[in-house]
Amino acid sequence: MNAHAAARRLFVRATFVVSSILAASCGEGAKPPEVPAAASSSAAPPALARVPATWRFDLKAAPASGRDGMVTSDAADATRVGVEILKKGGSAVDAAVGVAFALAVVFPAAGNVGGGGFMVVRPEKGEVRALDFRETAPAKATREMFFGKNDASLVGHLAAGVPGAVAGLWEAHRTYGKLPWKDLVAPAIRLAEEGFVVDEGLAEIVRDRAADLARFPASAAMFLPGGKPLGVGAVLKNPELARVLSRIAERGAPGFYEGETAKLLVEEMKAGGGIVTAEDLAAYRPVWRTPVEMGYRGHKLFAMPPPSSGGLVLAFMLGVLEGYDLGKMGFLSPEALHTTVETSRRAFAKRNYFLGDPAFVSIPTGEFLSAEAIKEARASIDPAHATPSSEVGPGRGGANEKKHTTHFSIVDRNGAAVALTTTINTSLGAAVVVRGGGFLLNNEMDDFATEPGKPNVFGLVQGEANAVAPGKRMLSSMTPTIVVGPDGAVQIVTGAAGGPTIISAALAVITNVLDHGMGATAAVGAPRVHHQHLPDQIFMEEGGVPEDVLRALGARGHKFEAWDAIADAPSIVRGPGGVWAGAAEPRNKSGLALGL
């Protein structure tokens, strides 16, 4: 027995229960159940029958619609920038560049030039591709650099990885752009110069992180004017960031990784004890990768491969779930929720044990994609009882609800699509604004397994595959995903923000559409749940799961914790007649979907 097979048996050593229920629903060779076609706006009543009447989002509201394109993001100003670019004949990638730079200005909690991310592109012609512009560990990074240091991987200069965002956008435009680069960055420059109005979401984040921001002069000057956190209605102008963006507009990626901006970043690092150097910046390169491809209910899904865990974990979960008739079980039924969280429990155990940067570790894709691995996991799910996580895989952890990261989805008039997720990790990253640069440093080093047995900020305890090493990309949960229908046209563009809950949200949007027949509004706004193996409990949204369902799950042995919100997943769904339906994330009040 090889090491991977032995490890897989560790993850599925729960009692193999093949009851008549399980055999009927997922027997080998069973034909996947028929599923309803996606609706254009709201789900048919049966799909939403179990959603509590007091649920805080209107699941039957009409989505944004358009025949010639759609943009949905976490900031209204950024969405408008993307739509204007599409109206001028820009490609989906052109619009993505404009939206990303606009988010760096008006959504500073997660939008960035000092972070990184992942993009899945379905071009007008050609194959779906995945672009990795994840941050990397600096050359001076060591395995032990965070041992015994409380928050050093979260706050301050040492927490920052080498940024990849600008290089990634530059490479995407070089490959698929149509409009001039300068024209795509110009709207963000204008927003930085003229300022934007602070909303309650940003004001709350600044209040939450005021103590961290106060430690750094430039951060305090920007977010704590007069010693008080920015309030709702304040206008935040950022002339320093405008100058950084102007250099990027003039020179492309070299305008960030070389010259004045690079000098400012390196000086900030030296002043604060950071280790990112000019050589690190000059050496950074984004990487085109082959996306993870999977089939589900007659559709093809394309998602990010490692160093994002999203694609493989999502593929494994969908592979297991295809053996069940979720539509017949019913949305929010005890059976559907039990099956989904048991699948997620197994998927996250594998994620935390096996995955890391493929340039440094061998990725056993068969553990996630092979028929044998999926069959074993499916057979290990007892339909009547929760499997203790201690019987599924090793490790321990806690959970954290902090919001961070931002995702946006775009389609253009030619049917090309972009799903892009970008981040500086936690909200406002390392809390360090680069002096003279006006942008925040990321705190992505915390996404490594920084110390054995120590959970990261999201409660994930990860294996040696994700240990810190120079030049290494840290493991991520970002899951930008494009779903192509049986006719070869894009059906769903999705992804999310929210740490490990990203994967659960992407799964929810996809199954809500393909299994439950929901349209964009309901698919995004419906109640969500999450299970990440450890801690051994279901995280659910407050008021989203009916009491009788909770009792039924409790009888199976599940434990619960209620959160205000799980993830943030602005998505696009193709409706009847090829009309695009876009949904902003209702959990994020600043988002907007616009069609054309």
Please say if the pLDDT value at position 13 is more than 80.
no
Binding residues for L-glutamate, by number, are 134, 423-425, 447, 476-477, 499
Q: Which two tokens stand for residue 373?
A: 């691995």
Please say if the pLDDT value at position 8 is more than 90.
no
Q: In what order do the strands lie in the sheet with 592-595?
A: 287-289, 129-133, 116-122, 417-426, 404-411, 70-73, 592-595
pLDDT (0 to 100) of residue 42 = 46
Note the pLDDT tens digit of each residue in 21-72. Answer: 233 333 333 334 444 444 444 444 589 999 999 999 999 999 999 999 999 9
Q: Which two tokens stand for residue 306?
A: 């490692």
- In the DSSP assignment, the letter for residue 205 is H
Please say if the pLDDT value at position 216 is more than 50.
yes
How far lies 372's CA from each of 33, 315, 326, 572, in Å?
A: 21, 14, 22, 33
Note the pLDDT tens digit of each residue in 457-497. Answer: 777 666 789 999 999 999 999 999 999 999 999 999 999 99
Catalytic one of 405, 421, 479, 521: 405
Pairing of strands 580-583, 592-595: unpaired
Binding residues, by number, are 134, 423-425, 447, 476-477, 499
- In the DSSP assignment, the letter for residue 162 is B
Q: Is 405 among the residues known to form the active site?
A: yes
pLDDT (0 to 100) of residue 399 = 45
Centroid of chain to Cα 162: 19
Domain-wise residue ranges, the chain? 42-62+290-401+478-573, 79-285+429-466
Query: Would you call 564 helix, strand, or coil by DSSP?
Result: coil
Among candidate residues 441, 430, 138, the one with its CA nearest the CA of residue 276 = 138
State pTM to two decimals.
0.92
To the nearest 10 degrees (0 to 180), the angle between helices 501-514 and 334-354 is 140
Neighbours of 488 (CB within 10 A): 9
Report whether the peptide linkage leading into residue 364 is cis, meaning its omega lies within 30 degrees of zero: no
The whole-number average pLDDT for the span 490-517 is 98
Note the pLDDT tens digit of each residue in 251-270. Answer: 999 999 999 999 999 999 99
Mean pLDDT value across the chain: 92
> What number does CATH give the domain 42-62+290-401+478-573?
1.10.246.130
To the nearest 10 degrees (0 to 180), the angle between helices 181-194 and 76-87 is 150
